[in-house]
Amino acid sequence: MNYFNYKNDELYCEEVPVEKIAQEVGTPFYLYSNRTLTRHFDVFSGAFAAVPHLICFAVKANSNISILKIYAKRGGGADIVSGGELYRALKAGIDPSRIVYSGVGKRDDEIDFALKTGILLFNIESLQELEVINERAGRLGLKAGIGIRINPDINPKTHPHISTGLKENKFGIDVASSVRAYRYAQEMKHIDIKGLSCHIGSQITEISPFREAVQKLSEIVGLLKRDGIEIRYLDFGGGLGIPYDDEEPPPPSEYAEAIIGAAGDIACTFIFEPGRVLAGNGGILVTRVLYTKKNQGKNFLVVDAGMNDLLRPSLYGAFHRFQPVRLTPKEEITADVVGPICESGDFFARGRRMPSLARGDLLAVMSAGAYGFSMSSNYNSRPRIPEVLVCDESWHLIRERESYEDLVRGESIPGCLEKV
């Protein structure tokens, strides 16, 4: 459920007309619903009420500090993959003891930042990383909480670019080597073994890959226990999908039932790292039609948002539904919806049946709350666009539109180029 609905044929976000915001901030812009984001967190967390658990929002999905604050207020933590994401999480008020640090390429300075901050644990992706974290913790006179991320070689049945649990993927340590890795960690003076981690991919719409991953984790927990290694946190990652088109992902209640059932009687705190399932349908991209054109009978709608604002369709061939901001009787056409970027890959849809919009009409690109702004760029020297949050009857600019001056901030021309 989300709170983007029509009232008298006009699209609203909660109690605010989308067109009213567009008139104030211009287009394109991202628009988020506080009610939707809050509800999705509560439903997901509530599904695991029967077990000790920690919901660590995947900051990569949407890193705006106002969005992170919504989850911090509800007791949520953060799943981070960089020092910048750690900084954002702390600025949003997320308790460091609720932060887990994943990712295959943690730099020394990022590791030091996390150690000094006192995060819950690092999800270790390689033996060399384990050695580096032990060494960095020793230099600081600290102990690093860790879990080892296993790669279970499970097909999550999702897009290849967002599959992370197959043996050909760069993530984690294979199951056969994981127990040896824990024994190695047990010998290290500055390592505190806390958890075991697994993340198999994103936008997963079936239960079976999750169930299979949990069963593998449970087996490893048993093996470690026989070695005297107690696992206190079991991190199941994220990956539960949302309906962009006609997908039918399981609801959080069914997902929770499968996870809890497969985990059996393991006495651990469960960690989850949801991103898309919490934020995806909580945001939209609002764009305006600049031009309509035909090339040899083919229709194009040229809008003012581009692939630099929402990369998913170009990168993954991802589907996003469109909704006109005003519903008026219009004939349907088949059209490509494209942006201003100087690339043939700059599109939001190809061959889509949709209303025949006109220059100046507003269009909402739905399910854009995750991996939208967070993947945006300044390609073609386009300023990044604003983000707006609606809370009931009020709306708030939570990121300003960048200016042309912002594009060159930090750049300089050296003296050697000023010489004639």
Q: Are 155 and 286 found together in one domain?
A: no
Q: From the DSSP assignment, how many helices (H) and strands (E) are in the chain?
A: 12, 21
Q: Is residue 150 part of a domain?
A: yes
Whether residues 349 and 206 share a domain: the answer is no
Name the least confident of 65-69, 116-120, 153-157, 204-208.
153-157
Domain endpoint, select from 218, 253, 276: 276
Cα separation of 368 and 318, whole Å?
11
Strands (E), 237-378: 269-272, 283-295, 298-303, 322-324, 332-338, 347-355, 362-365
Q: Which residues contact 326 (CB under 8 A, 6 or more apart)?
A: 9, 10, 11, 19, 361, 362
Q: How many domains, in total, are found in the chain? A: 2
Which pLDDT tens digit goes with each residue over 240-289?
A: 888 888 778 888 998 899 888 888 888 899 999 999 999 999 999 999 99
* Judgement on whether residues 267 and 366 belong to the same structural domain of the protein: no
Q: Which domain-ending residue is among 237, 256, 276?
A: 276
Query: Tens digit of pLDDT for each residue in 29-43?
Result: 999 999 999 999 999
Q: Report phi then psi at 244, rounded to 5.
A: -80, -40
| Percent of the residues in the chain that have a pLDDT greater than 70, as a whole number | 95
54 and 105 part of one domain: yes
Q: Could you tell me if 254 and 391 lie in one domain?
A: no
- For residue 309, which of 387, 389, 388, 395 has the smallest C-alpha distance? 387
> What pTM was computed for the model?
0.93
pLDDT band of residue 201 (cuts 50, 70, 90) is low
Strands 387-391 and 29-33: parallel
Mean pLDDT over all residues of the chain? 92
189 and 148 in a single domain? The answer is: yes
Residue 145 has pLDDT above 70, yes or no: yes
**299 occurs within a structural domain:** yes
Instruction: Give the pLDDT confidence of 308-345 residue by residue, as tens digits.
Output: 999 999 998 999 999 999 998 889 999 999 999 999 99
Same structural domain, 55 and 98? yes
Task: Give 40's DSSP letter.
Answer: H
Q: What is the CATH number of the domain that holds 15?
A: 2.40.37.10
Q: Which region among 182-191, 200-209, 246-255, 276-285 has the lowest average model confidence (pLDDT)?
A: 200-209
Q: What are phi and psi of 399, to 5 degrees?
A: -155, 130
Q: pLDDT digit string (tens) for 361-398?
A: 999 999 999 999 999 999 999 999 999 999 999 999 99
Rounded to the nearest 10 degrees, how much is the dihedral formed by the CA atoms of 250, 41, 204, 101? -150
Query: Active site includes 342?
Result: yes
Do 254 and 376 share a structural domain?
no
Give the three-state DSSP class for 335. Answer: strand
**Using CA atoms, how far apart are residues 181 and 148, in angstroms rounded to an integer?**
8
* pLDDT score at 161: 40
Residue 168 gets which letter from DSSP?
T
Query: Taking residues 295-312, what's their average pLDDT?
Result: 96
Pairing of strands 233-235, 269-272: parallel
For residue range 125-137, what is the model confidence (pLDDT) as tens digits? 999 999 999 999 9
Are both 250 and 329 inside the same structural domain? no
Residue 154 pLDDT > 80:
no
Burial bucket for residue 10 (CB in 10 Å: 0-12, 13-18, 19+): middle
Q: Does 344 fall in a domain?
A: yes
Q: What is the DSSP letter of 275?
A: S
Same domain, 238 and 152: yes
Q: Given the residues 13, 56, 342, 416, select the one marked as catalytic.
A: 342
Q: What residues make up the domain containing 161? A: 34-276
The yes-or-no verdict on residue 138 having pLDDT over 80 is: yes
- The pLDDT value given to residue 202: 64
**What pLDDT, on a 0 to 100 scale, did the predictor assign at position 167?**
46
- Of 243, 276, 309, at which residue does a domain stop? 276
**49, 75: one domain:** yes
The better pLDDT of the pair 166, 46 is held by 46
Same domain, 99 and 216: yes
Rounded mean pLDDT of 388-409? 98
pLDDT at 147: 95
Is the Cβ–Cβ distance between 144 and 193 less than 8 Å?
no
